[in-house]
Structures are given as C-alpha cells and as structure tokens.
A and B are shown apart, each in its own frame.
Chain A
C-alpha cells in the first residue's frame, strides 16, 4: 500500500476534502479519513463524489446506533461519522476501499465507518456503494463532504493510498 496524498483541514474548516489528479498507476484505492462534521448533532453521513459528480450512485447501509440496528438504501452515502455535538475533540473514522478504480465498468466501494461519541448513542455503519454512471471512466478525483453539515471542522483529515496487485513468483492462482 503506497501513500499518495493527505489532506488536513485547517482553521475555519472546509466544505470538503478532495483528492484530484489521482495517478492511474495502481490497482485499487483506499481512503482513510478522520473527520468531524460541523452539523449541530452527534453524527452525520459522509458523501462521496467521483470525478466531480454525485450522479449515478446507489448505496446500502447497515447501521448500529447503540440501541438498535437498521438498514437503508441511499445515493452517494459512504460512511457515518462524528459531528459537532459529539464528545469534544472526537472524530469519526472512515475507511473506503475502491477496487479496480481504473476499470471502465461500474465501481464498487466498500466502507467501514464509525461516529465516535462517549455516550450510549454512537453510530457505526458499513456501506456498500455503487457508482454506475451512464459513461464509465477511470477515477481521477474523489471528494468527501458531509451530507447534512456544511463542512468538515478543523483537524479533520483524510489520506489516499494506492494498492498494486501482482505476483511474488511463488503463490499460484487458478
């Protein structure tokens, strides 16, 4: 796994975290984020745009709230994280795996996430997200932003990694 880029939100916050000019030299992408939405609530959802668009997304989530579990479908949601009313200095964690980001077919995203909160109400969610636009393309840009808040708070950060598949010359596959 190779580190590509890290973005850290500075003073005043930021509407989104964007990775652009993603190199086309890897097999898969991994985005790991530690973020806190400015929404005046305990939690918020993460939205992802790919190649500057939010069109063509569907998702399925399994979420636990500390008292119940549920499942729902949505659009370009890809995670659930902490927001401004959660425990202070606490950020949600998200890990998104995007296999075969250079393929010219629909893209699948697998996400694990949690909205940390020192209380009985804290959200954890896994998401399956599909990007299936009318015209498929190599992923060159990924943007993460809150669904209900207007931006990420200071000290939020995200890192982009690339993974390259290959052979060690020993392991066989058939």
Chain B
C-alpha cells in the first residue's frame, strides 16, 4: 500500500479577523509537517510574519532568506537568536498570497528543527517572492505552532491547513 502523503490534520477558514492562528495537540505520528496558508491580512500593503513552536517565546530561533522585491532587486539576509522565525511575508486584504512551510522531523527528540518556508504575495505594487530557512533550537518534539502577522491580523476568508507527511 502506498505511503500516504499530505494527511490532513486540521484546517481553518477565518470567519473573522484573527491576530494569530494556533495549531495544538499535533500528534507525533508523522515524519514532517506541511502548513499551507492562502492568506490575506489587514496590513495596508503587506505584513511580515512570525512562526513559533510549543509556545516558546525565547530567543531560540534563527533564519536566512532571499527575496525578489517589488523594485526588481534580489536581497538576502540572515538573523539569529530571535524569539520567532521571522522569515514570512503575508499579503494584504485584496489578494491573498500563498505561504508554505515544511517542518522537517518535527517529532524528533534528538535534533533541532528546521523549516523551509515559501512566501508568494502579489499585493498591487508590493509584490514579493521569498524563500527562507529557519531553525528552532530545541530537541523537544513540536506539538503546537503559532503563526501570526506583525502589526496586523489575518483577514476574513484566509485559510490555514496542516498536513502530516510520512
């Protein structure tokens, strides 16, 4: 029997604006997690986003990212010892973007957790495409995650879906 992929774990479509989305009680059954967002925010143009695990707000996160910007430049930067993986872009309320996060070996207890992130947003005049990698410096299995825009809320109609991959 083929190994199932993209096993649906939970999904939400927002009926009201929300400051954050939290997935909890994530079973340690799978190898990886994939979180997919089709998201808008209340930001005027776009919003930066953050991802935290296990309600951990300590400086246990780092990131590296490369962006294709709305002014035709390619930029890259990195940061460490932050209180979240701050390598996410969210679109405005007019056109939703796509955010895909791949969390590798999330249930492992012998390694830090790595995340591959993609953000594709096309708000008018503020379009950006970004690829990022993040690290959560903890050997604890991930059982919850929180994603949120900085200085804005997720718009009505935004969707987030979590999948397990074996």
What A residues does B91 contact at CB under 8 A?
108
What B residues does A132 contact at CB under 8 A?
95, 122
What A residues does B100 contact at CB under 8 A?
97, 110
Identify which of A1, A132, A171 gathers the most chain B CB atoms within 10 Å of its CB. Answer: A171
Would A127 and B129 count as touching, CB distance under 8 A? yes
What A residues does B72 contact at CB under 8 A?
70-73
Q: Does B7 contact A (CB under 8 A)?
A: yes
Q: Does A120 contact B (CB under 8 A)?
A: no
Q: Does B70 contact A (CB under 8 A)?
A: yes
Would B23 and A172 count as touching, CB distance under 8 A? yes
Q: Does A60 contact B (CB under 8 A)?
A: yes
Q: Which residue of A28, A59, A97, A171 contacts B10 across the interface (Cβ within 8 Å)?
A: A171
What A residues does B137 contact at CB under 8 A?
none
Q: Does B55 contact A (CB under 8 A)?
A: no
Could you give, for residues 94-110 of chain A, a 1 whenever the CB lies within 8 Å of some chain B CB and a 0 otherwise? 00010110010110111
Q: Which residue of A69, A111, A128, A170 contacts B121 across the interface (Cβ within 8 Å)?
A: A128
Mark B residues whose CB is within 8 Å of A.
5-12, 21-27, 36-38, 66-70, 72-74, 76, 91, 95-98, 100, 118-122, 127-131, 157, 159-164
